[in-house]
Structure 1
Amino acid sequence: MTEATDRRRVKRSVCIDTSMTDHGNEQEATVAIVGAGAAGAGAAYALENTVAEVTVFEKSRGVCGRAATRRKNDCRYDHGANYFKDEDFRVTELATEILDTDGLVEAEGPIWTFDASGTVSEGRDVDDHKWTYRAGITQLAKRLFGRTEVTIEKSTRVGGIERVDGGWTLADTDGTDLGRYDSLLLTPPAPQTADLLAATKWDDDLRRDLETAIRNVSFRPTITAVLHYSFEIDRPYYALVNTDKDHEIGWCSREECKPGHVPDGESLLIVQLGADWSADRIDDPPAETVADAADLTADLLDDDRLTDPDWTDYQGWRYAQPGGAVAAEPLDRAAEHDLFFAGDWVAGEGRVHLALRNGLDTGEWIANRLMS
């Protein structure tokens, strides 16, 4: 652990006392958050008890980013992140004690493993909770935002930022002015954040250091194939995961193991293809890609019926999983200019609970910076 990382964690552990703020009630500090995923939602929640006026800009029509849910033919399915875990005490406390727990459910059954040859082995049925919601995993961000008074501007893609008079101005990809803010938090995947920094009007060596450090964080693509069947698939596990990372399929789970997601008597498989296979096929026609994924799934589960699903869905996640964490030192320097970063690529691993915790910590860091 670097000295910069230690220093950042100390900063983030300080409790927020809004009575100490110098901003008063007449002129609130303004904060812009780019991205309404788990990290953005966590940061917005952490800023709620401060005097900051927070605006969130989200390029899509929904929230929670790659922790995404769709509805189709009476099914709900989490086609990005499949669940969030209880490995962080603060996330656990939020999900089970602070946020509304109505509809909070667990994926039922263990996770087994398979290798490059497709040989399935019984996994360790650990006690970790695998949480989602009856209405889908997007409820996590929706409930966090629901506890705040932030403004969320959906279908708004930020295309440019500029350092002006000690603050930050934002514009969308059409050049439309999105306002000036005292602090700015960027949460998109590292490659998209690096592209935004490359276009930033900020003549400073730090900008180049940030762009270089963030661009050094690799991201692996993942194609998700959703396969529905009008019959039940009887297996003793909730999901299979490829442990040697050398199979065409990386993950295969049964969405019917989540209460409220799939009608009785039906099966819905979430098949996430491996990084190499996904990289080779990410630009191919979705119909062909899903058909090939169904064949691979039938072979893995040794069931020829699975080659012919009665309906399907597709999502190509170009930036699905970070390959590591960004260097902490330039991020610490950026904070002195009221520019912050959060997400799974800052935490170092593609997990919802880590992205959320990183957002909570960064939101507190911003609050402490505003009070200084």
Structure 2
Amino acid sequence: MTAIGFVGAGAGTAAAAYTLRDVDADVTVLEKSGGVCGRAATRRKGDYEYVYDYGANYVKSKDERVNRLLTEELDATGLVDAAEPVWTFDADGEISEGRDADDHKWSYERGLTQIAKRLFAATDATVHRRTRVETVRRDGERWSLVDGEGETYGPFDRLVLNPPAPQTAELLRSAEWDDGLRGEIAAEAESVAYRTITTAVLSYEDGIDRPWYALVNTDKAHDLGWLSREESKDGHVPEGESLLVAQMSPEWSTAHYDDDATSVCEAAATMTADLLDEPRLADPSWTDHQGWGYALPEDGADTTLLGEAAAYDLHFTGDWVAGEARLHAALRNGLETGDRLAAGL
């Protein structure tokens, strides 16, 4: 049986593991956090009284293979579609009817993390959570991983790296792998620029009634970059209430990344109230906050260079490999990575 190790339990890893479910492979995943699906993250308040996707907001219906995966292959129980359109606004706060009105925007009643949970559940993969990989080691023709506690995992016949490009570069820079390709790929991963995004979650007992699911700032000249209504997703918010996910612009997020949660949420609520011309929104009933240092890659890496690592049974997956900062792209890239691994067994 071929042993395959994955670093990171993001959407790409989950999709690749799913693709390997019927081949003769022993899959092990090491994830530094307590959850799965990476930046497609969900939190809940109460016993699923409130559910909110505070990183990626949904999966777009832009890829037929991913659509089939969600609607036909996986259990579709609780799959929901935010049917209202995405509108736009500019630097002056002028709101206009927008884009993608006919696209599906998939999530689940219990949030986007259900994607990775359902993908992993369909496999025999072993997922070690709260396990931070500190060292990648090449032992002869096999790989092993060492965590922060000094525990070693492996050896693996194949290794797949799923973290964001800067973190992948760090792992490669410190890897115990004496080959010039290691430095070349690390430098390529370091060249992928990322946007920093700060998210504020704003909850209101008295809901707001709007004809859109979300607003996006298209001229990139407003401190608020995105505003969406989680109540558009069935099962996310109690009836009659609103829960807004406000994602600040990369420039504002970078400048205020180390600000405390209270001041970030106060600023986001004030901007939201001004944008929607509804003063009461400056005073939400409760708030939440998250900073994403590596939120969205600006572009992708040189996949030809990354592909050279396959000669050493080393592979990469994720949105930065796909070259598109979209959840459907990360999922598709994971499926394709799994295909290549399966074909080589």
- Name the TM-score class by shorter chain: over 0.9
**Aligned twin of 1:272:** 247
**Aligned twin of 1:8:** none
TM-score (norm 1): 0.91
| One-letter amino acid of the counterpart of residue 129, structure 1 | H
Residues 193-252 of structure 1: CA distance to partner in whole angstroms, max 9, x if unpaired? 001111101121100100010100011111110000110111111100011111101100
**Aligned twin of 2:35:** 62
User: Residues 214-293 of structure 1 correspond to what in structure 2 (within 5 A)?
Assistant: 214-293=189-268
1:327 equivalenced with 2:302 (yes/no): yes
| One-letter amino acid of the counterpart of residue 29, structure 1 | T
1:37 equivalenced with 2:10 (yes/no): yes
Q: SS of 2:181's equivalent?
A: helix
1:315 equivalenced with 2:293 (yes/no): no
Cα distance in 2 for partners of 1:87, 1:267 equals: 28
Residues 180-205 of structure 1: CA distance to partner in whole angstroms, max 9, x if unpaired? 10110000000110011111011211
Cα distance in 2 for partners of 1:125, 1:237 equals: 11
Identity %: 55
Deviation of residue 125 (structure 1)? 5.0
Q: Is the 8 A contact 1:75 1:262 kept in 2?
A: yes
Segments of 5+ residues of structure 1 without an aligned counterpart are 1-27
Cα distance in 1 for partners of 2:252, 2:149 equals: 35
Cα distance in 2 for partners of 1:316, 1:174 equals: 26
User: Residues 90-129 of structure 1 correspond to what in structure 2 (within 5 A)?
Assistant: 90-124=65-99, 126-129=101-104
Cα distance in 1 for partners of 2:160, 2:182 equals: 15
Residues 81-124 of structure 1: CA distance to partner in whole angstroms, max 9, x if unpaired? 11001111110111111100110110131110001111111113
Q: SS of 1:263's equivalent?
A: coil
Deviation of residue 127 (structure 1)? 1.5
Runs of 4+ in 1 over 3 A off after TM superposition: none
**Aligned twin of 2:45:** 72
| One-letter amino acid of the counterpart of residue 16, structure 2 | A
Cα distance in 1 for partners of 2:132, 2:109 equals: 30
Deviation of residue 157 (structure 1)? 0.7
| One-letter amino acid of the counterpart of residue 54, structure 1 | V
Q: Is the 8 A contact 2:85 2:102 kept in 1?
A: no
Cα distance in 2 for partners of 1:131, 1:332 equals: 31
**Aligned twin of 1:348:** 323
- Residues paired across the two proteins, number: 343
Cα distance in 2 for partners of 1:219, 1:246 equals: 18
Residues 237-269 of structure 1: CA distance to partner in whole angstroms, max 9, x if unpaired? 110001111110110001111111000111100
| One-letter amino acid of the counterpart of residue 119, structure 1 | E
**Aligned twin of 1:81:** 56
1:300 equivalenced with 2:247 (yes/no): no
TM-score (norm 2): 0.98
Cα distance in 2 for partners of 1:340, 1:87 equals: 25
Cα distance in 1 for partners of 2:284, 2:104 equals: 30
Residues 136-166 of structure 1: CA distance to partner in whole angstroms, max 9, x if unpaired? 1111111111110100001101111111120
Cα distance in 1 for partners of 2:77, 2:90 equals: 38
| One-letter amino acid of the counterpart of residue 134, structure 2 | G
Q: SS of 2:36's equivalent?
A: coil
| One-letter amino acid of the counterpart of residue 25, structure 2 | A
Cα distance in 1 for partners of 2:207, 2:108 equals: 22
**Aligned twin of 1:15:** none
CA RMSD for the aligned pairs?
1.0
